Structures are given as C-alpha cells and as structure tokens.
Amino acid sequence: MKSAVIQLPGLNRDRDMIAALTKISGQAPVTVWQTETELPEVDLIVIPGGFSYGDYLRCGAIAARMPVMKAVAEKAAKGVLVIGVCNGFQILLEAGLLPGALMRNASLKFVCREVKLQVANANTAFTRAYAPGQIIRCPVAHHDGNFFAAPETLARIEGEGQVAFRYAEGTNPNGSINDIAGIVNGAGNVLGLMPHPENLVEAAHGGTDGRALFESVLGRAA
C-alpha cells in the first residue's frame, strides 16, 4: 500500500503516523509539505494530529486553506482514501471534506486519556477489519473534539451510516453530540476521527486495537 502523510507547521503526530503506516503496510509513506500543489499516486492520504498554526482562529482553519489541501480535495473527489486524525479531522472539517464542526470540549479541559470506542459502522473502507459493534480501546488527546452538526446534517450523517466510531461505555471525553468520535463522508472514502489509532498498533503500546483500522485500508488497497 502506498500512502502519503501531509505535513504542516505545528503538526506533531506525523512521526507516530509514519511509524504506524510503515510497520503495518511494510512501506514507508511519502511525506508531503503544505505548499505542494500535487500529490503522488497513493492509495491513502493521512493528515496527522497536532496543533497546526497554533490552533489560531479555529483549530485547523488556517491549515485547511493551504495549497496542499486543494490537492487532497482533488484526490478525495477521485475516490482516494483520506484519513484525518485529531487535528487532521479538524482540518478536514474546515476544508469542507466532512460535515459538521469540532468545538471546545464541554469540560473546557484538554483531555489525554484512553477511551472506549464502538465500531458504529463496520462496513466502511476504514472499519471492515473490525466486527460490527465491536468495542475497542483507543487514546485521545485534544482540547477541541466536541463534535457538532446542525439537526438536518446530523440526521443525514446518522441516516446514511456515516458515523464510523462512537465513544462507548460512558467514556465520551468532550461532549460530542450522539457520542460521535469519527465520521466518513457521503462517498465513504474520507474518514475523520478524534482518537489516535496510530498510537495503539503494537504490543509495546499496551495494545493493538488501532491496527485493524489500517488493516481495513490495506485490505482494500491490496
């Protein structure tokens, strides 16, 4: 599987993502800087987490207007798989590639802990290696992960099975509406999620529950 990791000033989880992708796919991803206007031919594009542009204006707002995001949007329109994790999720929302918005955590606190996630839709390109309804462990680390969508948008997301992951067992860390932790776009090729599956992919991490997300993609790309 060929993959690309987008890099922007302030993103700091790119190393973890590169390590996870390299370990699981057996091939190191290409890294692409924010000023690039074209992306190489890849099966998967990942926007990792961090604090792009210091979270100025709104989380992900400045990053979403950088040249590389136009290239990401063009690839996404052609059906290339795209994953945004944490700040990457915020960037995808700000770029209009996913519906809704992420707001300040209801607690107003930065949360850094492990949560439980339920695989709400195991029939996506990113979740097919999980069992439907499976509960997995996953770490979160964010200040603005409180998912919000207007009622009509939320009804569409829920009705079309676009919710990929939900916080489970009372572990919603941020006040997200309907416990939403991750969503896909209408076409099903763009995923955004607040938790960090790349940080739970080998025994040394204390668990491997995040691995199946990448293996789902690997299965499709193979």
Partner 1 sequence: MIKARVIVTLKNGVLDPQGKAIEGALRGLSFSDIGSVRQGKVFDLELEGADKAKAEAELKEMCERLLANTVIENYSISIT
| Least distance (Å) between residue 25 CB and partner 1 | 34
Binding range to partner 1, per CB under 8 A, among 11-19, 57-65, 70-78, 112-120: 57-65
| Least distance (Å) between residue 153 CB and partner 1 | 8
| Least distance (Å) between residue 60 CB and partner 1 | 10
Instruction: Tell me if 154 contacts partner 1 by CB under 8 A.
Output: no
Concerning whether 198 is annotated as a catalytic residue, the answer is yes
Cβ neighbours of residue 152 under 8 Å, at least 6 residues apart? none
Considering the candidates 59, 86, 142, 143, report the single residue annotated as catalytic. 86
Among 19, 30, 73, 103, contact with partner 1 (rule: CB under 8 A)? 103
| Least distance (Å) between residue 38 CB and partner 1 | 22
Task: Report in angstroms the alpha-carbon separations of 162 from 43, 96, 153, 187, 200.
Answer: 21, 15, 11, 9, 23
Among 100, 182, 192, 210, contact with partner 1 (rule: CB under 8 A)? 100
Instruction: Tell me if 150 contacts partner 1 by CB under 8 A.
Output: yes
Instruction: Tell me if 149 contacts partner 1 by CB under 8 A.
Output: yes
| Least distance (Å) between residue 100 CB and partner 1 | 6
Concerning whether 169 is annotated as a catalytic residue, the answer is no
- CB neighbours (10 Å) of residue 152? 8
Question: Number of C-alpha atoms within 13 angstroms, CB side, residue 94?
Answer: 24
Concerning whether 138 is annotated as a catalytic residue, the answer is no
What token pair was written down for 194?
């607040």
Rounded Cα gap, residues 5 and 1, in angstroms: 13
Binding range to partner 1, per CB under 8 A, among 94-102, 163-171, 192-200, 214-222: 94-102
Q: Locate tokens 């996870």: which residue?
A: 20
For partner 1, the binding residues (CB under 8 A) are: 57-58, 61, 65, 93-94, 99-101, 103-108, 146, 148-150, 153, 175
As annotated, the active-site residues are 86, 196, 198
